[in-house]
Chain A
Amino acid sequence: MLARSTTLRFDWLMIFLYFALVFIGWINIYSASLNDNASGYFDFSQIYGKQMLWIALSFFLIPFILAIDSKFYERFASVIYLISIVSLIGLFVFGKNIAGQTAWYSFGSFSIQPSEFVKAATALALAKYLSDIQTNLKEFRSQVNAFLILTVPMLLILLQPDPGSVLIYLAFFFPLYREGLSGLYLAVGATAAILFVVTLYTDNWWIVAIGILVIGVVAYFINRKRRPSLVKYTFIALAAIAFTFSVDYIFDNVFKQHHRDRFNIVLGKEVDERGIGYNTHQSEIAISNGGWFGRGWTEGTQTKGDFVPEQHTDYIFSTVGEEWGFIGSLTIILLFVGLITRIIFRAEKQKNQFARIYGYSAAAIIFVHFAVNISMVIGIFPTVGIPLPFISYGGSALWGFTILLFIFIKLDATNFHYT
């Protein structure tokens, strides 16, 4: 018994995938940030040099995370969560304003973005709360509490303002659903998303409203043998129409012009390749340049010409697409799919409910980052400033994802302790 509690069984596949992605990330950051002033791979004044430093530091971080007792994360989840919330509040006092966002603590030449760490802390807190024996997601009270855990960091991040990062918190609906939250929430969310896109696409809320009425009437008559409740149908239809109307209203009156433009470009309603659509368009060209096998490392013409802004951070995938081609892009997608499915697979195996919920949250967070970021780079999602996990440049993001992943690896390593 004693011997068992001190040995750990690491899931080497997850660890391998992590190192593969981080390595690929650095290779591409090197290519995207290489310029005439660079002097060798270890030039720490360069972006790729700094990233190498971050990667090296995270290698020190990993043994530290793994050394801490797995019970610590469960027991101190609330404390970690509270500290992270305080770090977000502290931003409004000590934070540094960069490009209109108060999202950074600045220490000399280094900056730290707390919101990258809060994701892991929130996952811990949510896992802790949901694994509590008294929590029952079928009850309204538990639902409210669970939502509250998510809403507090979301609001604080929204105030920075960093709407992209807020979007990530929707990932927590997957573990919530997995743990028994009514499917109605996901259904309502999915319907809302569809109505949102359709409303913006038609640009006439009443056309969508007519569509909703038609679908409602058809559905009612198909189901009429089961004697459906007319009141319920009417209520749902009215709610949907009200939503459509508010989308139309908010889009036209609350959104700022650059938000509208981002949506319109993805919906193909606006073609502006010189102005607002420039990023996406250039990144698409870069990716198209890749062909099957790409132009080769550091040979990408779009990449070298600095035509894609933010290429080493949010748009890093365009470098992958140009220099490594379809094969390279496919490889990265497969690595991500491998990592995410492996986390889900291992999470389902957890005997400890806390570890399972945490793992599920981690998988969902990485998935949303991955899906939103790549969709944005290849032009099927509006521009949202969130990084590609493990790949994009940025110390905070790299550390945040490293901590998120390795806490789960540690929890997973002690899984066999539970019998």
Chain B
Amino acid sequence: MRRLVLISLVLVTSVILVARLFYLQIIDTSSESLYHNNAVKTVYEYPQRGYIFDRNGELLVANQPSYDVMVVPRDIKNLDTLELCQLLNISQENLEEILNKAWNYSPRLPSVVIPQLNKAEYAILSEKMYKYRGFYIQRRSLRDYQIAHSANVLGYIAEVNQATLDNNPYYQAGELIGTAGIEKQYEDVLRGSKGVKFIQRNRFNQEIGPYKDGIFDTLPQRGQDIQLTIDAKLQEYGTRLMKNKRGGIVAIEPATGEILALISAPNYDPGLLVGRERSKNFTRLWYDTISKPLFDRVLMGEYPPGSPFKVLTALIGLEENVITTSEAMSCFRGYHYGRNGFLRCHYHASPVNVVSGIATSCNTFFAVTYRRFVEKYKTPQEGIDNWNRHLSSFGLGNFLGYDLPTGRRGFIPNSEFYNRAYPNHRWFTTATISNAIGQGEVSMTPIQMANMTAIIANRGWYYTPHILKKVMGPDTLSQRYKEKHVTTISPRHFEPVIKGMHDVYRYGTASAIRIPDIEIGGKTGTVENYTRIDGKRVQLTDHSIFVAFAPIDDPKIAIAVFVEHGYWGSRWAGRIAGLMIEKYLKGEITRTDMEQFILEGSLEEEYAKPYSGKPFTINN
């Protein structure tokens, strides 16, 4: 027995070794290890990125060829640095830094030396590259923009960053990836898949043809084209209207949730972020911290909604049975509450019911309504939470779920919020009375305002707003954009509110924007806002807001326009909304006087006030 232990161990070990060798040499022929096999060179072929079209089939984004100078650090031999620097037109320190970075990334894998050469530069270089061992030129496909607007929607592609490289094995250093907007959201659809070729080298490191006759090679697959719900003409027109103003426009088709226009101003030409000037241009946009062109105001900006919010207050009041359509209230230029509280109102005919309350934007009416439905419950906490529940069903206070990669929740307070703000939970409805008129704690993003308008136009339901119409190919629209969301408000309560919004347009606060043959339901908003200048709280010029839908009986478009520091609702936002609606419904403009006022008008002086020191006299 003792004699057999060593000899059996020898035999068993040998069998294990042979089995492992058999696995390595005969069975395991996966292509996985090819990437690390030094005798096999891996060459990638990049597919064309998918094109982007608008809802009418107009081409927005195509491709153009571009050439990157690449390096495989380990293959560098006898490098004439000086000559190469002259050829590439960079400094010697710069080149050394780039090569060091490439070494650190990987000695064996290619890194980018100079990205995005154009055809002329490529022509000069391509003749001389053979002299520099380890360097070569990689052809890629870059974006070619057919339009000079909508950068906030389209986004851009950029060199993939280290974090993505670490997490996603598909990408190699120097490759391009959608980094914002549609390019980021639909990266997987647009990019296609790159092809790979394995090339066998012999022992002198010379390429001798495809590895194993190319059985592991794959062809690049072109990215799929996509069609957006955006109307390029409307988008372009809106961009022109918003020139020299800050803010945004969101237009939605109520029946489908399709986003017709998504304009953030100021914006930039997407073509700026293509080519060798890219990083210079990007830096300039990035450091413009005053007008913030990279900040998407319609998706990321959270503003108090102001008076359009009164529509929701009215709807909740009707649903909670605390007001009726016939009830009229008198307004004595304001509403007294608590011991010394007073909510100011402006001159208008009195008394008002829900319809004329909306038309005249009476603060008193909605403050009373708000107080009634909150105080209907035993505690203000319960009342506020019920109010919050209604608003949540309108998609407020949370991400809407649209298909763009940025966004904000906005804010709708609940009881927990006020409990934290007021010690011992001692607070009453009156402390939150500003919520009734869309001031105070509530805030919304412009796209939420547009969606809210679409809900009213639909009389109580909405599809999640989305920007992808379809992918040209087997893929179709995600199921979640075909799901109908129904609000907590009964459809019948929408009629008086819509009538009020129609009256806003017929004789109310927005009667100045009347357009022949189009019946609009709208609501103006003039939003007080404050900032700190040198540590002092200063009231700035009011924001101008207008939400609208048209035609009133068969809504085709719901729109929200937001103009920062635009005086009052109808002055800028109302007019812009009217023009946009007419452009979309009729294709041409009849109110050219109004158009001229907007196109020529500028608010730049207004925006310079915090820096120029001019007084914000408009508020008084």
Residues of chain A touching chain B, judged by Cβ–Cβ distance below 8 Å, are 174, 177-178, 180, 183, 186, 273-274, 281-282, 284-285, 287-292, 298-305, 307, 321, 325-326, 329-330, 333, 336-337, 340-341, 344, 348, 360, 363-364, 367, 371, 374-375, 378-380
- The secondary structure that dominates the B interface is helix
Asked whether B203 lies within 8 Å of A301 as measured between CB atoms, the reply is: yes
| Contact partners of B203 in chain A: CB under 8 A | 298-301, 303-305
| Contact partners of A292 in chain B: CB under 8 A | 25-26
Which of B1-9, B525-533, B569-577 is the interface stretch?
B1-9
Q: How far is the CA of A198 from the CA of B10 in the complex (A)?
A: 23
Asked whether B22 lies within 8 Å of A178 as measured between CB atoms, the reply is: no
Asked whether B25 lies within 8 Å of A287 as measured between CB atoms, the reply is: yes
Cβ distance B216 to chain A, nearest Cβ, rounded Å: 13
Say yes or no for B37: interface residue by CB 8 A criterion. Answer: yes
Cβ distance A49 to chain B, nearest Cβ, rounded Å: 20
| Contact partners of A186 in chain B: CB under 8 A | 5
Q: Number of B residues contacting the other chain (C-beta, 8 Å)?
A: 31
Interface mask (B191-214 → A, CB under 8 Å = 1, otherwise 0): 000000000011111000000000
Q: How far is the CA of A326 from the CA of B29 in the complex (A)?
A: 14
Cβ distance B200 to chain A, nearest Cβ, rounded Å: 8
With beta carbons under 8 angstroms apart, the residue of A307, A329, A330 that contacts B38 is A307
| Contact partners of B38 in chain A: CB under 8 A | 282, 285, 301-302, 305, 307
Asked whether A305 lies within 8 Å of B10 as measured between CB atoms, the reply is: no
With beta carbons under 8 angstroms apart, the residue of A284, A289, A325 that contacts B39 is A289
Cβ distance B106 to chain A, nearest Cβ, rounded Å: 7
| Contact partners of A282 in chain B: CB under 8 A | 36, 38
Say yes or no for B76: interface residue by CB 8 A criterion. Answer: no
Asked whether A288 lies within 8 Å of B33 as measured between CB atoms, the reply is: yes
In the complex, number of A-B residue pairs with CB atoms less than 8 Å apart = 102
Give the residues from 432 to 453 in chain B that come closer than 8 angstroms, CB to CB, to chain A.
none
With beta carbons under 8 angstroms apart, the residue of A177, A307, A336, A344 that contacts B7 is A344
Say yes or no for B21: interface residue by CB 8 A criterion. Answer: yes
Cβ distance A360 to chain B, nearest Cβ, rounded Å: 7
Asked whether B18 lies within 8 Å of A290 as measured between CB atoms, the reply is: no
Asked whether A380 lies within 8 Å of B25 as measured between CB atoms, the reply is: no
Cβ distance B208 to chain A, nearest Cβ, rounded Å: 10
Cβ distance B452 to chain A, nearest Cβ, rounded Å: 51
Cβ distance A31 to chain B, nearest Cβ, rounded Å: 10
| Contact partners of B7 in chain A: CB under 8 A | 341, 344
Say yes or no for B11: interface residue by CB 8 A criterion. Answer: yes
Given A174-B6, A177-B2, A274-B106, 20 more pairs with CB closer than 8 A = A174-B5, A177-B5, A178-B5, A180-B2, A183-B2, A273-B36, A285-B37, A287-B24, A288-B28, A288-B33, A289-B37, A301-B38, A301-B201, A321-B24, A326-B25, A333-B21, A337-B11, A340-B10, A367-B10, A380-B16
Asked whether B25 lies within 8 Å of A344 as measured between CB atoms, the reply is: no
| Contact partners of A285 in chain B: CB under 8 A | 33, 36-38
Asked whether A344 lies within 8 Å of B17 as measured between CB atoms, the reply is: no
With beta carbons under 8 angstroms apart, the residue of B6, B13, B39 that contacts A301 is B39
Cβ distance A367 to chain B, nearest Cβ, rounded Å: 6
| Contact partners of B26 in chain A: CB under 8 A | 291-292, 326
Measured CB to CB, the nearest residue on chain B to A175 is B6
Q: How far is the CA of A232 from the CA of B3 in the complex (A)?
A: 29
Q: How far is the CA of A333 from the CA of B12 in the complex (A)?
A: 12
Measured CB to CB, the nearest residue on chain B to A380 is B20
Asked whether A378 lies within 8 Å of B24 as measured between CB atoms, the reply is: yes
Measured CB to CB, the nearest residue on chain B to A186 is B5
Q: How far is the CA of A274 from the CA of B7 in the complex (A)?
A: 39
| Contact partners of A290 in chain B: CB under 8 A | 25
With beta carbons under 8 angstroms apart, the residue of A284, A302, A337, A363 that contacts B14 is A337
Asked whether A367 lies within 8 Å of B24 as measured between CB atoms, the reply is: no
With A178-B2, A337-B11 known as contacts, the answer to whether A329 contacts B37 (CB < 8 A) is: no
Cβ distance B11 to chain A, nearest Cβ, rounded Å: 7
Q: How far is the CA of A389 from the CA of B557 in the complex (A)?
A: 84
| Contact partners of A299 in chain B: CB under 8 A | 203
Give the residues from 287 to 319 in chain B that come closer than 8 angstroms, CB to CB, to chain A.
none
Cβ distance A102 to chain B, nearest Cβ, rounded Å: 32
With beta carbons under 8 angstroms apart, the residue of A273, A305, A321, A374 that contacts B25 is A321
Asked whether A374 lies within 8 Å of B17 as measured between CB atoms, the reply is: yes
Cβ distance B107 to chain A, nearest Cβ, rounded Å: 8
Contacts A/B (CB < 8 Å), 18 sampled: A174-B6, A274-B106, A282-B36, A284-B33, A289-B39, A291-B25, A300-B203, A302-B37, A305-B38, A326-B22, A326-B25, A333-B17, A360-B6, A364-B6, A371-B17, A374-B17, A378-B21, A379-B20
| Contact partners of A178 in chain B: CB under 8 A | 2-3, 5-6
| Contact partners of B17 in chain A: CB under 8 A | 333, 371, 374-375, 378
Asked whether A330 lies within 8 Å of B37 as measured between CB atoms, the reply is: no
Q: How far is the CA of A371 from the CA of B20 in the complex (A)?
A: 13
Cβ distance A175 to chain B, nearest Cβ, rounded Å: 8
Cβ distance B3 to chain A, nearest Cβ, rounded Å: 6
Measured CB to CB, the nearest residue on chain A to B6 is A174
| Contact partners of B201 in chain A: CB under 8 A | 301
With A288-B33, A305-B39, A333-B14 known as contacts, the answer to whether A325 contacts B202 (CB < 8 A) is: no
Q: How far is the CA of A364 from the CA of B3 in the complex (A)?
A: 12
| Contact partners of B202 in chain A: CB under 8 A | 301
Cβ distance A234 to chain B, nearest Cβ, rounded Å: 29
| Contact partners of B2 in chain A: CB under 8 A | 177-178, 180, 183
